[in-house]
Structure 1
Amino acid sequence: MKQNIRPYLLSAILGLAFFLGLTLVVSAQEPETTPEDTLPAADTLPPAPLTPAAISPDALEDGLPPILGAAPLPPDGRGVLNLSLADLGLNDFTLATNGRLSIEQSFYLPSYMQVLTGTVLDVDYRYEASAVGSDPEVMVALNETEVGALQLSGTISQTSQTLNLDGLLNVLIRNRLNFSLNSDLECGLNPPEVQSLIYNTSTLRIPYQLQPLQPNLGRYPWPFYERAYRPVESYVVLPANPTPADLSAAATIGAGLGNFARGDVVLTTTLDISVTNDIRQNYNLILIGKPGANRLLDQVTLPLALNNKILKPEYGVIQEVQSPWNPYRMVLVISGQTDTALVRASQALNRNVQFPGMSGPVAVVQDVLPPIPEAGSERQVDLTFADLGLEDQVVFGARPQRLRVDFELPGAFQLVGNSQAVLSFNHSQLVNGTMSSLDVYLNEIPVGTTLLDETNTTDGLLEIDLPAWQLKSGRNRLEIQIEMHLSPEEDPCEVFSDARLWTVIRSNSFIRLPYEAQPVQPTLTLFPYPFDKDINLSDVQLVLPARPNAVELQAMMKLAVNLGQAAGGSYIALAVASADKLAPEALDNYQTILVGRPSRNHLLRAINEQLPQPFTADSDLLEPTFDTVVLLPDPSQNIGLLQEFPYGDSENYVLVISGTTDQGLGWATDLLLTPNAKRGGNVAVIKEGNVVFGLDTRDVEAAPSGEDNSVGQVEPGPLKAGFDVARWLALSQRWW
């Protein structure tokens, strides 16, 4: 399809782009048709989002300003970043002669941060040693360069030591910080007992100068996503009265960033009327809306005026500018004169547009075209080690060493064909080929091995079949054990950490997982299935109240990021509809996620009687359904609710994210998106963020209530064959 459209689009694209110095984008994605009407004004404004706490200039050295808005940025972009080992994800750890000898932690710094002189590492540690002779020590290295040794002299002591790191930190590639107990202590028949506890309060102190950001859509999703020591946080700013098109554009951008960042991104959605000075000054902003709809658009000088005569009503516009409030932050503008144009712009942002491609500060989207259809339900995923966050891994010395690679498998797919791990490696020519080996384990079971010899010195390749019975839903672990030797006559003490012995596992190694979607019965535990069955999310719709508040908007964005990460398509577009514009029949056509309380979501009220756990009429209270005693609902209960059920005769499902309060709705959203959380079958009731009641109602027929529930005994209804009676009796532990 792309080849067919190229001839007649080429001249128009190049001519207009040449004349304006802009990028004109035609992308392969089906346009989204969205109503043009604007939602009515809210009776009350949504509460303002949480804003960064004010911090005095004297406290700047204690913040983490280069990425998150946790503290105001220094006015001149100059400051000191204090990055503890806890900030890097490490707990306190122990190195010991009879245990772990070394540990390495990787981290990234923002690419627009220039590291200044004066960088140090303050190490807090405690040690216990009974060494005789030379004093033991912990060697500290940064990016393969030794920066100093922690002396472990004496017997027991707690102390600290400062190490100079000037000139060693990188902002373009990964940094590696390594702590290693002196390996010579392992030699001899009676090695001394030495252990050192390194506290995660140990801190990197990095003087920096931020560099002003230069707009370039060719680098997107940077700077809204960048691999760093913490996720980048940005604000998505919508008009005060967002249309379904505004919401769809925001959700599409969120899903795209979730896909790009594999979920490692933080997006907060708010309205233009709720944006504070702190938000403007400390965060990247994504402004969405038609001309005149979003008041922040009027405060930004754009390279291409939105009323420019070249912009036809159906043209979407993407623009990127340095923030007028802070040169170290970026503003991304998604706009167009119509709802269709606005949605096109958001969809184009997620595409891999190669010809002519985006560049510079402006892209005009003339059209988006249908995606190339996928045949069948079979997919193949190749996860490179780089995709999983690992660069080339280098190990030295004769002691056995293990590298770990974790990867996830969904719960609603069946592997087909041959799953494989393909390792790309090379090693030192001095390695003895009859004594050195590379062994591979899958979930602690050996699956493959090879000798490190002259046949694989430079271009080693090991292909290993991964048995289906050893793979499991959720997290899997591939371990690579490397053992190298020089000769049978070698002295173990001399070659234990000998740099002449080395092996590199390359980051282009990959795990191949062919799988096929399975028609399993959805449960809350399997989420995001079935909503990620279409990798472009074209069969999914989110339904929000007509006037979404801050909690509902944030639930929409969190869902979008999660769904984009799970789906992983190249043409992602996520539709958002207004509950007051839809009839229940519309649920037949989409996998639908309903967000909001019944008092706010018109569609949820309309289908209340079909819910596994209904609400009482004209309220947000839960109707007692699954107990043998019917109690009057307590209006003071603060409860979150998740429920999922098939709708009508279609194969589509409806997921309801709700609660008796907005706080309960927030709990339900967070629990749904928490990895590996136990959420029950198709109904989960949440208090204080935890499931207190989970049930699969497809196993239970509700107990009927009598004509007069105030007197007499309520008998349970008939139970399905094979139903667990003990489980039914356990329901007497009421949750409302």
Structure 2
Amino acid sequence: VITGLNNEAVHKAAQAMSFESRFPGMAGQFALVREVRPLPEIPPERQSTDLTFADLGYDDKVLKSFSQKTNYYFYIPFGWRLTDGAILDLHFSHSQLLDYSNSFLNVLLNDSPMATIALDDETSLRGELKVELSPSQARPGQSNRISIQAEMYPIDICSDMDMWLLVSDESMLHLNHQEQDAPSLDLDFYPYPFDQRPDLADVIFILPPEPEPGEWEDVLQLAATLGDAAGGSNLAPAVTLGSNWSDEALAGYHLIAMGRPSRNLMIQQVNPQLPQPFQLGSDAIEQRLNNVIFRMPSDLSLGIVQFVPSPWNEARILLVVTGTTDPSVREATSLLVNQPWALKGNLVLVRDGAINTLDTRELTGSGIIAAVATAVPGIAEVATVSPTPTPAPTAPTAVVLAEQPVPDGADSPAWLVLLVGTTGVAVTAIFVIAFWQARQRKRNLSGMG
């Protein structure tokens, strides 16, 4: 229960729950929160070049039986290119009761074989294998996977011998690399760059002015996923309802706009800059080729994810999670939450589980229309118009919920009043729940590992 004597008090209590507090008041069955201090500026943590498996959170692992495999995940920062000196220094030991003529160990990087070593008496006590990590198989800006696969056969196949191989947590990755100018960003690297600050303080979620329950659920799921990916102990993303911001404030944030275009003012503002624009004043998609307008059927249910540089700062990203219907927005959100590895390019179309990825930067106008029509058949020429100049997006004063008191007596939808009383408090409370759930899942998984 998160509560208080007025809306501002509830807001403070929710803020206190949004990060891992270490003061004694947060122990026991209840806590009284008088003030919540602003979070300090946290610079992005720099990735270490040398990492042991223990540094990555893994203990010694024991593989048993004939054929076993275990995985280790590590992150390569965006802009790093591994050099020839990048290696895995693998330390292991194993049973001496093995048929060495048929027993060996494989090492793979992102499912590509890197090295194989035969097991023998020399490797049984202090086995060591230096594995060169191929730059062509590494994935900068993403999670990478080292797989250790052991094939073991006993000396006597009919006996019940204990076959085992231990992978030491002292095994070390040496990620020698060159830093290069980052290539153009796209969805291949998601959740980068939204997870670069551990507190998500440079991310704003943009919702419709009066979000519906399904839209709250969508942003909760996506926020929980990003909070888990960022891994910070203090979490303070900004949230706003509508599009009431100054150009200067927008320039400092990565933006995530969610909801149908007809409901989200931010999506309406940036519509001309989107790879897949929408028909003005509706949720229907359209493309233009010279003076000809092409549109999809009006009953189309299509989830859409779009990834473009922010119109207010090209060093920042605008992520648009939208669709032509409410169920299709759910499907687009689910794709980001549950299948981020399926994302590519700068435009993703999802319909009834079928995922189509496009990079419109590599296509001509007719090529985009052909690609969209292939992904979702039914596009047709509907009109010919005279071109008119498109005004640049405009916007007034940034609203960062975490820094503003919540006034009493604010008007809210009836369903929201039952939850917390005001829109501002609801946003904070929802993120509290989201990040708490993400942390609990992470701890449970760690405990199981």
The TM-score with structure 1 as length reference comes to 0.42
Contact 2:53 2:171 in 1 (8 A): yes
Contact 2:44 2:197 in 1 (8 A): no
Give the C-alpha shift of residue 544 in structure 1. Answer: 1.1
- Amino acid corresponding to residue 576 of structure 1 in structure 2: V
Change beyond 3 A, Cα 1:633–1:493: closer
| 1:123-182 deviation line (CA, Å, top 9, x unaligned) | xxxxxxxxxxxxxxxxxxxxxxxxxxxxxxxxxxxxxxxxxxxxxxxxxxxxxxxxxxxx
SS of the residue corresponding to residue 651 of structure 1 reads strand
- Kindly report the root-mean-square deviation, in angstroms, between the aligned alpha carbons of the 2 structures: 4.3
Does 2:301 correspond to 1:638? yes
Which residue is equivalent to 2:386? none
Does 2:358 correspond to 1:673? no
Output the CA distance in 2 between the equivalents of 1:425 and 1:671: 38
SS of the residue corresponding to residue 37 of structure 2 reads strand
Give the C-alpha shift of residue 393 in structure 1. Answer: 1.7
SS of the residue corresponding to residue 239 of structure 2 reads strand
Contact 1:420 1:466 in 2 (8 A): yes
Give the C-alpha shift of residue 650 in structure 1. Answer: 3.4
Does 2:167 correspond to 1:505? yes
Mapping of residues 354-503 of structure 1, within 5 Å: 359-363=27-31, 367=37, 369-371=39-41, 373-374=43-44, 378-379=47-48, 382=51, 384=53, 392-395=61-64, 401-405=67-71, 407=73, 412-416=78-82, 419-421=86-88, 423=90, 425-427=92-94, 439-442=105-108, 443=111, 445-447=113-115, 449=117, 453=121, 457=125, 460=126, 462=128, 464-469=130-135, 471-473=137-139, 476-481=145-150, 483=152, 492-493=156-157, 495=159, 497-499=160-162, 502-503=164-165
Mapping of residues 46-65 of structure 1, within 5 Å: none
Give the C-alpha shift of residue 470 in structure 1. Answer: 6.2
- Amino acid corresponding to residue 641 of structure 1 in structure 2: I
Higher RCO, 1 vs 2 (CA within 8 Å, ≥6 residues apart):
2
Mapping of residues 263-662 of structure 1, within 5 Å: 287-288=1-2, 290-291=4-5, 337=9, 339=11, 341-342=12-13, 344-349=15-20, 353=22, 359-363=27-31, 367=37, 369-371=39-41, 373-374=43-44, 378-379=47-48, 382=51, 384=53, 392-395=61-64, 401-405=67-71, 407=73, 412-416=78-82, 419-421=86-88, 423=90, 425-427=92-94, 439-442=105-108, 443=111, 445-447=113-115, 449=117, 453=121, 457=125, 460=126, 462=128, 464-469=130-135, 471-473=137-139, 476-481=145-150, 483=152, 492-493=156-157, 495=159, 497-499=160-162, 502-506=164-168, 519-583=182-246, 586-625=249-288, 630-631=293-294, 634-648=297-311, 649-662=313-326
Unaligned runs of 5+ in 2: 380-449
Aligned length: 367
Change beyond 3 A, Cα 1:482–1:633: closer
SS of the residue corresponding to residue 286 of structure 2 reads coil
Change beyond 3 A, Cα 1:367–1:686: same
| 1:566-608 deviation line (CA, Å, top 9, x unaligned) | 3334444322222243355543111100011232222222333
Mapping of residues 214-233 of structure 1, within 5 Å: none
Contact 2:306 2:346 in 1 (8 A): yes
Does 2:351 correspond to 1:687? yes
- Amino acid corresponding to residue 323 of structure 2 in structure 1: G
Contact 1:594 1:656 in 2 (8 A): yes
Change beyond 3 A, Cα 1:289–1:543: farther
Contact 2:104 2:150 in 1 (8 A): yes
Contact 1:401 1:483 in 2 (8 A): yes
- Amino acid corresponding to residue 9 of structure 2 in structure 1: Q
Query: Greater helix share, 1 or 2?
Result: 2
What percent of counterpart residues are identical?
Answer: 26
Change beyond 3 A, Cα 1:420–1:631: closer
Highest CA radius of gyration, 1 or 2?
1
Change beyond 3 A, Cα 1:415–1:455: same
- Amino acid corresponding to residue 675 of structure 1 in structure 2: Q
| 1:615-652 deviation line (CA, Å, top 9, x unaligned) | 22222222333699634554322222221211234311
Contact 2:275 2:360 in 1 (8 A): yes
Output the CA distance in 2 between the equivalents of 1:360 and 1:346: 14
Give the C-alpha shift of residue 370 in structure 1. Answer: 1.3
Output the CA distance in 1 between the equivalents of 2:232 and 2:4: 27
